[in-house]
Amino acid sequence: MSLQPGDALASHNFGLQIDGVMVEYLQEVSGLSVEQDVIEYQQVSADGKPVIKKMPGVRKAGECTVTRGMTESTAFTAWINDSIAGNMGAARKNATIMMMDYQNNPVKRYNMRNAWCSKVETSGVKAGDTSALTEQVTITFEELVIE
């Protein structure tokens, strides 16, 4: 690995795997989040003083938004189409946002279990414009495991 102790990853080198196959290098990943309820309860200590305790509750599903250049990636497009069509048997996939070091070695993985695409938004088009076309895809998942 090219990272030295104390080095942070650069934010420009990452990609998306679907069922273990690298399908897309992305322009941006945002909003990668998962949430857990917090249970708060009160009790009285042995000396009669009130004590407030907190403990983890139910984990919620999460989501993230990825932006990619509009390409001919058939695997990613098929995943989007299966999701939009409600073909959940084919749409639910295990997806991974993979962060890489300067030598393209995987360093950190955000594994999303039972992920599917819940929203697709394309960039605007304008005659005479020279910018690349992009798609923003919201990925919904049931569980996040960070490695």
SS (H, E, C) 79-110: HHHHHHCCCHHHHCEEEEEEEECCCCCEEEEE
Domains held by the chain: number: 1
Residue 7 within any structural domain of the chain: no
pLDDT tens digits, 85-127: 999 999 999 999 998 877 788 888 999 999 999 999 998 888 9
What pLDDT is attached to residue 2?
A: 64
Contacts of 86 (CB under 8 A, 6+ apart): none
Residue 142 within any structural domain of the chain: yes
pLDDT tens digits, 9-20: 666 778 888 888
Contacts of 82 (CB under 8 A, 6+ apart): 88, 90, 91, 116
Residue 109 within any structural domain of the chain: yes
pTM above 0.85, yes or no: no
Residue 44 within any structural domain of the chain: yes
Domain ranges, residue 96: 14-146
CATH classification of the domain holding 31: 2.30.110
Q: Which two tokens stand for residue 63?
A: 């989501």
pLDDT tens digits, 88-99: 999 999 999 998
